[in-house]
C-alpha cells in the first residue's frame, strides 16, 4: 500500500552502506521511515531526505514498517552555507521538535511552529535569540504547559511586574512574598503584556516580537529557556548540546 505525505525532515540516521532512517514531522505527527540507498550520491531522493527539507514522500506501508519509494523536494528551509551559529540553532529546534512526544491534536501547531522557526533561522534579519526564545515558549505552550503572565499565582491580581517562576509557569507579583529558595526571573509589567500578546499571535507574527530594552530581552530569553527546560524532558540535553556547539565554535 502506498501513502503520500508532506513532511519536514528533522533527523536522518544512517545505517549500513548507504541507507538511512528518516524522521519527519507532519501535520499529523512524527513519522520515521526507511530510505534504502538514500545516502548514495546517485540516489534521486538524497536532496529531499536532507535535514531541514520540506518534501513530499511516497511511502510503501507493509505491516508497521514504512519504506520510501519516491520523494520530491518542496523547499530546503535551511540553505547550504548558513553560518555555524544558525546551523546550531536549526539543530536545536529540530531536536526539540523530534524528541518531544506529542498528541496528534497538537501536531499541526508544532509542525507549523517548527517550519516557521527554521525558515526564519535561515534569514539573517531575524535575531537568533528571539527565534530561540519564541520557539521555546510556544513549543512548551503547545504541549500544554501554558504560562500565565496575566495574574499573580498567589493573590490573583494583575501584576505590576514581579518574578516569573518557571517551575510554576506563573508570576509572583511585587506585593506578594517570594518563598525562600524559589528562583525566578524579574519581569516588568511591559514585558508581561508583550509576552501575553506574543502567545496569542499566529506563528509568523509571534516571531516579530522585538525589545529595545536589553534588560527585557535578556529576561525574555532566560525565562523562555528555563521554562522549556523545566517542562520538556528533551530540552536539557538539547540545550547542553547547543551551548557546547557554540562554545566549541567561539
Q: Which of 39, 58, 176, 201 binds Zn ion (CB under 5 A)?
A: 176
Q: How far apart are CA 229 and CA 233, in angstroms?
A: 7
Which C-beta is closer to Zn ion: that of 143 or that of 152?
152
Q: How far apart are CA 33 and CA 60, in angstroms?
A: 9
Residue with the shortest CB distance to Zn ion: 152
- Residue 154 as a binder of Zn ion (CB under 5 A): the answer is yes
Phi, psi at residue 140, to the nearest 5°?
-60, -40
- Residue 182 as a binder of Zn ion (CB under 5 A): the answer is no
Which residues, other chains included, contact 207 with Cβ-Cβ below 8 Å and sequence gap of 6+?
Answer: 116, 117, 120, 126, 130, 131, 134
Minimum CB–partner distance for residue 180 and Zn ion (Å): 17
Which C-beta is closer to Zn ion: that of 157 or that of 210?
157
Which C-beta is closer to Zn ion: that of 126 or that of 176?
176
Q: Which of 87, 137, 152, 192 binds Zn ion (CB under 5 A)?
A: 152
Which C-beta is closer to Zn ion: that of 135 or that of 164?
164
- Residue 155 as a binder of Zn ion (CB under 5 A): the answer is yes
- Residue 18 as a binder of Zn ion (CB under 5 A): the answer is no
Minimum CB–partner distance for residue 157 and Zn ion (Å): 6
Q: Which stretch binds Zn ion (CB under 5 A): 53-61, 151-159, 178-186, 199-207?
A: 151-159
Q: How far apart are CA 54 and CA 70, in angstroms?
A: 14
The cell numbers describing 235, all together, are: 530540552
Minimum CB–partner distance for residue 187 and Zn ion (Å): 13
Minimum CB–partner distance for residue 144 and Zn ion (Å): 25
- Residue 173 as a binder of Zn ion (CB under 5 A): the answer is yes
Which C-beta is closer to Zn ion: that of 29 or that of 169?
169
Q: Which residues bind Zn ion (CB under 5 A)?
A: 152, 154-155, 173, 176
Amino acid at each position: 500500500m502506498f501513502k503520500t505525505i508532506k513532511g519536514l525532515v528533522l533527523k536522518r540516521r544512517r545505517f549500513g552502506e548507504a541507507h538511512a532512517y528518516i524522521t519527519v514531522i507532519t501535520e499529523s505527527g512524527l513519522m520515521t521511515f526507511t530510505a534504502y540507498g538514500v545516502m548514495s550520491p546517485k540516489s534521486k531522493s538524497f536532496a529531499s531526505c536532507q535535514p531541514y527539507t520540506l518534501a513530499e514522500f511516497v511511502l510503501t506501508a507493509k505491516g508497521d514498517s514504512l519504506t520510501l519509494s519516491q520523494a520530491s523536494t518542496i523547499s530546503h528551509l535551511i540553505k547550504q552555507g548558513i553560518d555555524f551559529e544558525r546551523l546550531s540553532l536549526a539543530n536545536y529546534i529540530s531536536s526539540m521538535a523530534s524528541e518531544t512526544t506529542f498528541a496528534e491534536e497538537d501536531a499541526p501547531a508544532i509542525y507549523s511552529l517548527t517550519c516557521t522557526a527554521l525558515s526564519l533561522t535561515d534569514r539573517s534579519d531575524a535575531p537568533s535569540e528571539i527565534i530561540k526564545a519564541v520557539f521555546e515558549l510556544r513549543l512548551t505552550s503547545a504541549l500544554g504547559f501554558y504560562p500565565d503572565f496575566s495574574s499573580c499565582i498567589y493573590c490573583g491580581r494583575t501584576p505590576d511586574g514581579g518574578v516569573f517562576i518557571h517551575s510554576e509557569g506563573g508570576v509572583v507579583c511585587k506585593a506578594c512574598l517570594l518563598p525562600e529558595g524559589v528562583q525566578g526571573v524579574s519581569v516588568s509589567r511591559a514585558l508581561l503584556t508583550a509576552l501575553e500578546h506574543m502567545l496569542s499571535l499566529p506563528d509568523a507574527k509571534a516571531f516579530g516580537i522585538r525589545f529595545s530594552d536589553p534588560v527585557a530581552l535578556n529576561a525574555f530569553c532566560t525565562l523562555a529557556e528555563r521554562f522549556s527546560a523545566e517542562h520538556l524532558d528533551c530540552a536539557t540535553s538539547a540545550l547542553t548540546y547547543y551551548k557546547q556547539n557554540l562554545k566549541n565554535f567561539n
